[in-house]
Every structure is written in C-alpha cells, then in structure tokens.
C-alpha cells in the first residue's frame, strides 16, 4: 500500500475548504431535487453502486472553484436514490500518477470493502494545456465506504498512448471481474478495451469490444451491462463524431447501442444513437440495484457551453436516476419510481380546462414541479403548442417540422433540440422542472430530453399558437426540495 500521507493532507484541505465556503453559494439556480456539489464544480457521475447497504454516487469534482480544475471525487450516499447525503471528498490528486486529477471511474463492493477504479491523470506540460498527458487505471479501497486509501496503478498504457481512461468494473456470476475503458489507439482511432481479473489487482487484456465508428477518436466513460437475456447495452460518450440532422448537435455527445456479447466480442444490433435529445446530458454511468433494476445517471451539463453560473460558486448537477429497459429493439429510460416520493400537492385539470385555442394559460409558479399530460398531434391544429417557462424555455409540438422541440431562449445559450415524432399516435410526456433544468420523458421513456436554463422566472404556462391543442389529463405536482439545503458532512 502506498504511503497515504499526501492523499490524507489533500483530502483534509478540500474538506476544510468546502466547510468554510459552502455558505457562499448563490442558490438562485441551485437544484431542489437533483444532486449538485455543496460548493464547486461537478462533471461526470462516478462510482455509482449499491454497496455496504447503501447507494453511493461519486462525481468528478473541483472543490475550490465553480470551474473545472484538478479533479477530486465528491461523494454522496442514499438509501432511496432521491434523498442524498453529502459525504467527505473521497479522492484527491496527490501522487505522481494522478497529480493532475483523479479522473472518472467506477466502484464495486468486494469482500466487505468498497473498491474504486479510477484514472490517474498526469499532465506533462504547462497548466491549462493538456495536449501531452499520461493516464493509468488506479485502484483505491475503503473499509467503511467513506474513507479511501490509494493502492496504486493497475493498468498502464503502451508507449505513445495518451487517451486511456474511464474504467467501468463489474463482476460476473463466476466471480470474475471485468473492466472496460476508452482508448485512442496509435492509429488515432477510438476503441473500448476489455480486461478481466480475479482479484482487481492483476488484469489481463481480453479483447476490443468496440472499434472506431463514424470517426470517434476516443470513447469517454464507457459502460456495459446486460438488460435482458444476452441483450447487452454499450453506453459511451464518443469524441469526434460530426453532427447529423437533428442528432449529435451537442459539443459532446452521449450515445448507446444494444447487441449481444459472448464474453469477448460485442455484436451490435444498431449503430450508436442518442438516448437523450436535450442539450445537457453526458458521461452516463449505471448500477444494478438489489431488486434487479438497472439505473443510470448522467452529468446534466455540457462541455464547451457557457456555464452561466460560474460566479455563483457551484456549477453542474446530475440527472434524475433513470431506470433502463429494453423493449421492441429500443432502449428506454424513465425516472426511477422512487421519484414519486417527491410529490406534494397535486392539481388535476379537466379536459375542458386544458384545451386551448390561440392562447396561453398559467399553471404553476414553482421551481420544483412535475407535469404529466398526453397529446395526439393529428387531433390538434395549432401551429405550435406546449410548455413555457418564463422567458427561458419553450417545449413544443411543432406543426412545421413535426417534432417535439425544446428551445432554450437564454442569451449566450440560445438554441433548440428537436425530436421527430409520429403524428397519428398519442404521446405521453412526464416533465420535471428543477429551478434551472428541465427533464422530459416521452412515451414512458422511449425518449428523453434534458436541458438547463438560466432564468429566474419560474412561471410555467401551457400555450397553443394559431389553432387549438388539448393537453389531455394534465396533472401538476409541486415537488419536495430535499437537495436544496442538503446538510454538509460532519
Ligand atoms: C468526460 C471526461 C472523462 C474524464 C473526466 C475528467 O466528461 O472528460 O473522460 O475522465 O471527464 O474530468
């Protein structure tokens, strides 16, 4: 085991800084029921697992500022996936192999301990220029699930390989550990490598389960799990793929595909496709639950976009946990059923009350709201109809493009994402609005759209422009706000 002194010092410094500064966070955009850091910057969810009797979520974390910096691992625990308790920082950069950051990875319980496998990142050039760096997969361990000791690097790249990161570890029924991670190979092509181990320390290379598709030069944050009998899902965030029609418009894209896996090769049914069609969804990570569900979370932000909350001392949040299923050849994701425990007051509208003709109707003014309704495009003749949130968001069915469109109107971040929808079928929407984010689930999770916005006007209206539209069965819930003031670790 490594000498832990430097790591313990780095953790103590980060924990003390958070305690001292958490009350400086400006909460005008801070989430009510999505997990964000008590202070500082979040990106990818890491180490999502059920271990030692609880759910654990870790996240890429810079505790000293609301922008990306040398990555730590923040940590929270929960018994229901909804009410999270902040925990002490789990990992901090401290050693030569991770001095520039403890990058993304995963966690797994083994022999009554919680193990983390993460990427140690070491930049060899000036701060801010990360063109030459070295990445290795590193093992750390905790007896109590809170305090981690670094064991050290367990897989190192061959000479000349730079991008080599984001290990996801799982155990099969025989007790064998598997690991996959993303690599940019010596031909500058993206690949996902697969290794196995009996003890988490000694790893053997097995195969490449994914090669370059559509010019992806690197696959960030790969995840791989079985959903039905020998139906596997590969989830990843490929870098370098060009936009295509309504797809892949985000600066960084998260895409999934299903297929079969024989322990060595993955044979996909389809190409990679986006499972969330909004602006802010990246770097997904999943876990199995004790009752056999597969749950995924994503970073609810995006690289290279203006983060308008920089001066607020926090930036970034995780999506709601979503349950994954696979039906009729398609990947579904819907909010976990535990989300229903957030519901407080309920308002139900009669059909007459929610059929609008060229008008707008206020329905809520609450920054923590769930909306449910359905609509059938061919029954409505409005040119555009949907939901308005202040001057920030329009979510609407558009007669001209035959899409469900999510339009963020805020300055510096104005843009839309659109999802083509069938016109003769009824569609169902479940929408979560949380202060500065909207998550939309379409047709029981057949599709989703997730977007942040930056307005403080939380008035929510339904509207129909130039014609009539029915928002059938419109139900509005006020939601609990458990994470707005979640207590700090002791
Ligand atoms: C994805 C990513 C990962 C990396 C981490 C660094 O968003 O770039 O590949 O491990 O973020 O914070």
CATH number at residue 149: 2.115.10.20
CA of 222 to the centre of ligand 1 (A): 11
User: 3-state DSSP call for residue 420?
Assistant: strand
- Residue 474: its pLDDT value, please? 98
Domain that holds residue 161: 5-335
**pLDDT, block means (10 residues), the chain with 490 residues:** 95 98 96 97 98 98 96 98 98 97 98 98 77 93 98 96 97 97 97 98 98 97 94 97 96 96 95 97 98 98 78 95 97 98 97 95 97 98 98 97 96 92 98 98 98 94 98 98 94
Backbone phi and psi for residue 331, each to the nearest 5 degrees, phi listed first:
-85, 125
Using alpha carbons only, give the angle 163, 12, 63 rounded to the nearest 5 degrees: 50
* Structure-token pair, residue 373: 């309704």
- Residue 128: its pLDDT value, please? 63
**Residue among 202, 211, 209, 207 at smallest CA distance from 224:** 209
Residues whose CB falls within 8 Å of the CB of residue 84, separated by 6 or more in sequence, listed in order:
35, 57, 76, 77, 78, 482, 483, 486
CA of 253 to the centre of ligand 1 (A): 13
| Of 278, 308, 335, the domain-final residue | 335
Using alpha carbons only, give the angle 72, 77, 78 rounded to the nearest 5 degrees: 155
Q: Residue 67's CB: how many other CB atoms inside 10 A?
A: 12
On whether residue 487 sits in a domain, the answer given is no
| Domain count across the chain | 2
On whether residue 49 sits in a domain, the answer given is yes
Q: Which atom of ligand 1 is nearest to the CA of 105?
A: 10
User: 3-state DSSP call for residue 394?
Assistant: strand
Ligand 1: residues with CB < 6 A are 43-44, 60, 71, 103-104, 119, 165-166, 220-221, 282-283
- Residue 307: its pLDDT value, please? 64
Residues 290 and 369 occupy one common structural domain: no
Pairing of strands 294-299, 322-327: antiparallel
Q: Residue 244's CB: how many other CB atoms inside 10 A?
A: 10
| Of 311, 335, 359, the domain-final residue | 335
* Structure-token pair, residue 271: 């190409």
Residues 370 and 329 occupy one common structural domain: no
* Structure-token pair, residue 388: 């308005």
Q: Which of 44, 98, 398, 434 is catalytic?
A: 44
Residues whose CB falls within 8 Å of the CB of residue 263, separated by 6 or more in sequence, listed in order:
none
Residues 40 and 182 occupy one common structural domain: yes
User: 3-state DSSP call for residue 317?
Assistant: strand
**Residue among 224, 237, 235 at smallest CA distance from 257:** 235
| Of 308, 335, 362, the domain-final residue | 335
* CATH number, position 427: 2.60.120.560
**Residue among 292, 267, 299, 214 at smallest CA distance from 36:** 299
* Structure-token pair, residue 322: 């979503």
Is 11:89 a contact under the CB 8 Å cutoff? Answer: yes
- Residue 336: its pLDDT value, please? 98
CA of 441 to the centre of ligand 1 (A): 26
């Amino acid at each position: 085991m490594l000498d832990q002194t430097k790591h313990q010092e780095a953790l103590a410094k980060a924990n003390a800084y958070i305690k001292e500064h958490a009350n400086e966070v400006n909460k005008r955009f801070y989430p009510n029921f999505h997990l964000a850091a008590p202070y500082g910057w979040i990106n990818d969810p890491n180490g999502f697992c059920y271990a030692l009797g609880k759910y654990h979520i870790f996240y890429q974390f810079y505790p000293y500022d609301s922008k990306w910096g040398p990555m730590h691992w923040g940590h929270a625990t929960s018994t229901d996936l909804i009410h999270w308790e902040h925990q002490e920082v789990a990992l901090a950069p401290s050693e030569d192999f991770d001095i520039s950051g403890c990058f993304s990875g995963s966690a797994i319980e083994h022999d009554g301990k919680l193990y983390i496998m993460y990427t140690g990142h070491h930049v060899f050039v000036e701060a801010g220029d990360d063109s030459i760096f070295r990445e290795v997969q590193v093992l750390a361990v905790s007896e109590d699930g809170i305090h981690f000791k670094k064991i050290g690097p367990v897989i190192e790249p061959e000479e000349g390989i730079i991008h080599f990161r984001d290990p996801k570890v799982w155990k099969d029924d025989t007790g064998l550990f598997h690991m996959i991670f993303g690599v940019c190979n010596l031909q500058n092509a993206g690949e996902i490598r697969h290794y196995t181990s009996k003890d988490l320390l000694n790893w053997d290379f097995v195969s490449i389960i994914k090669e370059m598709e559509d010019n992806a030069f690197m696959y960030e944050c790969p995840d791989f799990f079985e959903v039905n009998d020998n139906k596997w899902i590969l989830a990843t965030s490929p870098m370098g793929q060009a936009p295509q029609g309504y797809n892949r418009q985000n600066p960084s894209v998260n895409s999934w595909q299903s297929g079969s896996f024989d322990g060595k090769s993955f044979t996909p049914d389809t190409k990679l496709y986006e499972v969330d069609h909004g602006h802010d969804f990246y770097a997904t990570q999943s876990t199995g639950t004790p009752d056999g569900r597969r749950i995924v979370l994503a970073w609810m932000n995006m690289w290279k976009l203006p983060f308008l909350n920089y001066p607020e001392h926090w930036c970034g949040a995780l999506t709601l946990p979503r349950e994954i299923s696979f039906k009729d050849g398609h990947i579904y994701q819907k909010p976990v059923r535990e989300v229903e425990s957030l519901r407080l007051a309920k308002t139900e509208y009669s059909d007459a009350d929610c059929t609008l003709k060229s008008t707008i109707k206020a329905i809520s003014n609450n920054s923590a709201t769930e909306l449910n309704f359905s609509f059938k495009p061919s029954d409505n003749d409005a040119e555009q109809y949907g939901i308005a949130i202040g001057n920030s968001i329009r979510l609407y069915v558009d007669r001209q493009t035959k899409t469900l469109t999510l339009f963020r109107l805020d300055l510096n971040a104005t843009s839309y994402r659109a999802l083509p929808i069938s016109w003769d079928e009824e569609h169902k929407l479940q929408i979560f609005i949380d202060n500065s984010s909207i998550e939309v689930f379409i047709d029981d999770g057949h599709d989703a759209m997730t977007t942040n916005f930056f307005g403080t006007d939380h008035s929510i209206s339904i509207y129909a422009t130039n014609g009539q539209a029915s928002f059938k069965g419109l139900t509005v819930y006020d939601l609990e706000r458990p994470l707005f003031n979640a207590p700090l670790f002791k």
